[in-house]
Structure 1
Amino acid sequence: MPVVVACLVRVTGAVRRELIRRARGQKTAYRDKIRAQIVLRAADRQTNTQIAAALGVSVDTVRTWRGRFAEHGLAGLRDRPRSGRPSRFSAVHRAQVTALACQLPAQAGAPLARWSCPELAREAVAQGVTDAISAATVRRWLARDAIKPWQYRSWLFPRDPDFATKAERVLDLYERRWQGRKLRPDEYVISSDEKTSIQARCRCHPSLPPGRARMMRVNHEYERGGALAYLAAYDVHQARVFGRCAPATGIVPFMALVEQVMTSEPYVSAKRVFWVVDNGSSHRGKAAIDRLARRFPNAVMVHTPVHASWLNQVEIYFSVVQRKVVSPNDFTDLAEVEQRLTDFEKRYNATAKPFRWTFTRDDLHDLLARISQHEQQAVTVELPAAA
């Protein structure tokens, strides 16, 4: 019988360093580590039998990777392409399941509020798209296109007939413009609103601080200690907050907040102070505008459109308060709630910077154009049904 001669393996300095890195790497795949060790031992003139015994693999395995490296170098240590098992599903199957996921369940006749991957797999079989399919396959297909039909967001069409005009005025103020002119240095923009019903929940057992491998723990049971409202005025360009607490919202608490701001510098001597507010009952309509102007002639009230409180920058500050001050809600009484809100206000003002407001007039026009296009599409779809 002819004698089988092992392939001669030569390893240069750069390739040796890479092989050593693979052979010693803590995160290297086991198969890559074994292949690198085979080549390194082969370069040291060890026989296939010696290498197989040292590494606990078969001689055929050693012979395979030794030969591939000798022929192709490092590229030879990669797995060759494999045909694998033929796919059970075609591109048409995937497209049909994706289209089903992009429909409301009611359109498919399913008594569901939202799709889930198991329900989509079940519906695909029920509609004859395929004989069988797993939820994991559906999940993998949807992940490629970032489709998540089990999630949802609420939204609202603009109902204010003057939505664009009112929104543009607010956005102009954020860019220090009013009626086409730049604001003077002694003109200020205040964003104001109320955060209602901040409760004092006294937990039945003390909250436990976080520890090693343990998050903070808050007891589920609590006793109600009442609720209060937190009113805040935020200077958009100076990043300064003025706040106060009240038993409830209303005209009197809101005007008390206005008094607190407008009787302090630099607002008391300002040429104009613009107050951006939403359409809440305490500052709604022309009556509120006139009431503010009578009390402070240099104050100008500017309303956001109806259902557009997201244009009011103070809402961003309220979201900070919710995350850092109120949640988790664990207070002994309302006095503690008020004290923490007051202390946080001072802490916030010490380091606050203006919010990076990036939503402009152009963004507003793009948004309204998309909404208008969506409305036209909805009307087009409904017309055949109406006929």
Structure 2
Amino acid sequence: MRVAVAIELTDEERTKLSKYSRGHSTPVRLMKRARIVLLAADGKTNAQIAVEVGMARGPVGTWRKRFAQKRLAGIEQDAPRPGNPSANRAELTERILEATTQTEPEHATQWSTRTLAKELGVSDTRVARVWRAHGLQPHRVKTFKVSSDPHFAEKVRDVVGLYLNPPEHAIVLSVDEKTSIQALDRTQKGLPIHPGRCGTMTHDYKRNGTTTLLAALNVAEGIVIDKCMARHRHQEWIKFLEEIDARTPPELDLHLIADNYATHKHPKVLRWLKRHKRFHLHFIPTSSSWLNLVELFFADLTSERLRRGTFSGVPELIQAIEGYVEHHNDTTEGFQWKATADDILEKVARAKATLDKIKTE
């Protein structure tokens, strides 16, 4: 009867193996190998280990022997595979990486595995394997824009300072408009979600009017002051400021964080603010909507209530928005801003340096 090789671990080996066995960034194959060795060190048989790890008994014995022979290096490295490795594999990988990152196809904006494989005379499987190993996804793109506001740093420090260290006896409100919200109704009734099938809705729709949501998010509490209006001129903005004034304790100052929309700086708005001394307006830098926390609320409203909603008219749409705001205010726990102004400015400086480098190349 064959007896599995006994495993004894040093403290350092046990610590390393324990880290591998529960590490979130550890490859699955290494996690399983580490568990095999740890269980073997606890005196478990290969059959018992196979059941716990979910592997066949043969591989369990193999990795147990490899650890006994080579210690940690035995499980950290894959066993050599039969056959002669391709002499130009490294060169081919470099060609694929260079073509993917530094060139474009003649009649398209990005490569696919098949078009690049045809261009280089290799298999599309090889291209896909290289892309996967190096985290390349040419079909995906993210949008961005670095602000060119000459007072960017000053405005960032002002707004972030309000988020991280709000003044005493005051409320910090993130304010904005969500304009042209459409009351859309589908031309046919959709089919419900079903096991093995997602829900469906028609691709075409009927427009039944629009509304504009003006919202002020209390940063500390997460509560939203809302008002739906037909338009979003300076007249509506002043009415919303009056709404905020009526729905907040009169003894508290109000610090409003807003974007640079012309309505917010209209002469009549500025005159109204001068007459209402407790209002203090703070502007985010241009092209920096991510600094305005109310945009997070707008995003949630769109994805959770509006995008798939069907509305026969504007009154039904407004009712849905008000219902969502009421539910949000009953369940919110507030928002907590974490990034410091220095962190943001450092990140933007790196982005600008990268863009300047690209321009000069």
Q: Residue in 2 aligned with 1:284?
A: 265
In structure 2, how many angstroms separate the alpha carbons of the residues matched to 1:82 and 1:234? Answer: 60
Aligned-residue RMSD, C-alpha: 3.2
| C-alpha distance after superposition, 1:47-75 (max 9, x if no partner) | xxxxxxxxxxxxxxxxxx9xx9xxx6998
Between 1 and 2, higher relative CO (CA 8 Å, sep ≥ 6) is seen in 2
Matched, 1:223 2:206: yes
User: Judging changes above 3 Å, is the alpha-carbon distance between structure 1 residues 73 and 157 closer, same or farther for their aligned structure 2 residues?
Assistant: closer
Q: Which residue of 2 aligns with 1:369?
A: 349
2:251 aligned residue (269, 272, 276):
269
Helix, strand or coil at the partner of 2:102: coil
Aligned in 2, Cα 1:279/1:288: closer, same or farther, shift over 3 Å? farther
Structure 2 counterpart of 1:59: none
1:68-127 C-alpha deviation (Å, 9 max, x unpaired): 9xxx69989x9974332432633122122212211241xxx733212222222233x2xx
Conserved 8 A contact 1:228-1:246: yes
Residue 137 to residue 247, structure 1, CA distance change in 2 (3 Å): same
The answer on 1:241 being equivalent to 2:224 is yes
Q: Retained in 2: the 8 A contact 1:199–1:329?
A: no
- Specify the code of the residue in structure 2 equivalent to 1:196: T
Distance 1:88 1:204 in 2: 61
Distance 1:73 1:113, change over 3 A: closer
1:141–1:238 CA distance, 2 compared to 1 (3 A): same
- Report the CA distance shift for 1:256/1:289 in structure 2 as closer, same or farther (over 3 A): closer
For residue 126 of structure 2, what is the amino acid of its counterpart?
Answer: T
5+ long unaligned stretches in structure 2: 7-38, 70-74
Q: Distance in 2 between matches of 1:85 and 1:12?
A: 31
2:95 maps to: 96
**Local SS of the residue matching 2:194:** coil
TM-score (norm 2): 0.78
Deviations along 1:9-30, whole A, 9 cap, x unmatched?
357999896444478789545x
Residue type at the aligned position of 1:227: T
**CA displacement at 1:194 relative to structure 2:** 0.9
Query: What does the per-residue CA deviation read over 1:327-384, in whole Å, with 9 as the maximum and x for residues that have no partner?
Result: 2131122111100111111110111122232222112221232133224313432xxx
Structure 2 residue corresponding to 1:357, chosen from 334, 337, 342:
337
CA spacing shift, 1:304–1:104, aligned 2, 3 Å: farther
Instruction: Specify the code of the residue in structure 2 equivalent to 1:100.
Output: A
TM-score, L = length of structure 1: 0.73
CA separation in 1, counterparts of 2:133 and 2:268? 52
- State the partner residue of 1:175: 164
1:242-277 CA distances to partner (integer Å, 9 max, x unpaired)?
1111112111222222111111232x221x211111
SS at match of 1:102: helix
CA–CA separation in structure 2 for the residues paired with 1:23 and 1:175:
52
Worse overlay, 136-145 or 20-29: 20-29
| Unmatched 5+ stretches in structure 1 | 1-7, 37-64, 126-131, 178-182, 382-387
Instruction: Give yes or no for the alignment of 1:121 onto 2:117.
Output: yes
